Amino acid sequence: MVVYFDNAATTRPFDEVIEGLKDFLAQNYGNPSSLHRLGVSAEKVLKEARWKIAQKINVNPEEIYFTSGGTEANNLALIGIAFANQKRGNKIISSPVEHPSVLNTLEHLKRCGFEIRFLKVDQNGNIDFEELENEVDDETILVSVMLVNNETGHIFDVKKIAEVAKRKNPNVIVHTDAVQAFMKEKTNAKELNVDLMSISGHKIHALKGIGALYIKKGINIQPIIFGGEQQNEVRPGTENMPGIFSIYKAIEVYERLQNEQPNKLRMIKQRFIEGLRSFDDVVINSPLDNTSDAILNVSFLGIKSEVLLHTLESYNVFASSGSACSSRGRTYNKVLYSMGKSMEIAQSNIRFSFSYLNNLEEVDYTLEVLEKSLKFLQKIKR
């Protein structure tokens, strides 16, 4: 049995996406900016995909801008807003547990002269709303906090974050990285009261290299890429039509699977947690409340993450120790450490992340493999 529990890093494209792409690539290869029939056909797919995404987050289609993925969407949101609004202020507020595509972009903006403030988080990942209110001032132009944490699955109260920030300064722009939330949690941009939202295709069984950024109409933003007039010049360049088709198709399939088995991911995660209760020296880092059904972060005390990961791999069980964008060369999980977890916990964590392509039998097999692996590793440690 091969078990893939690293879906927060990337997902296998749905079969329907792969099959649909064969015909799409062979027949619908026109440039959507071209005026001839093939161009018009491609433009139709572009509009349908934009409409589909807009429908899922309750915004207007013209507010959706396609990018090369979640990283570019986050970069465009942060850099584009910062430089377009720097005459109003230079302060940006975020959290220390954001994805590297946010944290490293903020480091770049800091070098450019912007003031970056990180809110403290508790052991469940929650921010202090009193601290947020105190930090927001007349110089604050942007607040960026993710919707679902990619390491622990914690769901941030973005609606309250936006409410507190905009009550203190009505001109504050609010961005949320919804890459791990899209199609899995509630991502109604209007209910959340956010001005920008980033999503990515390869987290929902579409291709890699496609993402999108919602930009509320009227928000002042500068492009970070320069070229033609595509997408109102906010994100120019010939659109990635295979990727755009794939995200449209993936959403369709995802919707069907959710309707057929609405609680599947929750059942998988609960079965996993129940199985872990018989294990010794196990710490569940994912909060039990306000958490995504798709992510379970667990520390196996005394066993380094990398060692256990390779042992699991020998049994064809694939997981990770956190974000694929920051895992190489990393000896501990910085998100867990920022949450106040001990270094021992941060060095021994494994992230299991689930999708609709997983099943309960895979959970049972993984628990058996874990038991064998831990006994073996603890034995050779002695």
How does DSSP assign 131-181, residue by residue?
A: HHHHH--TTEEEEE--SB-TTT-BBP-HHHHHHHHHHH-TT-EEEEE-TTT
358, HSE (Cβ side, Cα atoms, 13 Å)? 32
User: Which residue's structure tokens are 């694939």?
Assistant: 318
* DSSP H or E stretch at residue 67: strand 64-67
Name the burial class of residue 270, with classes exposed (0-12), middle (13-18) and buried (19+) by CB atoms within 10 angstroms of its CB.
middle
The answer to whether 125 and 269 are in contact (CB under 8 A) is: no
Give start and end residues of each alpha helix (H) in the chain.
Answer: 15-27, 37-57, 70-84, 100-111, 129-135, 158-168, 189-192, 241-260, 264-276, 305-314, 334-338, 343-347, 360-381
* Catalytic residue (choose from 234, 273, 284, 325): 325
Residue 4, strand partner residues = 318
The pair phi, psi for residue 223, each rounded to 5°, is: -70, 155
3-class SS at 205? coil
Question: In this structure, which long-range contacts are made by residues 368-371, counting pairs with CB atoms below 8 Å and at least 24 apart in sequence?
Answer: 369/312, 369/315, 369/317, 370/279, 370/300, 370/312, 371/279
Amino acid of residue 154? H
Q: State how far the Cα of 370 lies from the Cα of 300, in Å rounded to an integer.
A: 10
Cα separation, 44 vs 21, whole angstroms: 16
What is the distance between the alpha carbons of residues 114 and 91, in angstroms, rounded to a whole number?
Answer: 6
Q: Is 112 a catalytic residue?
A: no
Q: Known catalytic residues?
A: 325
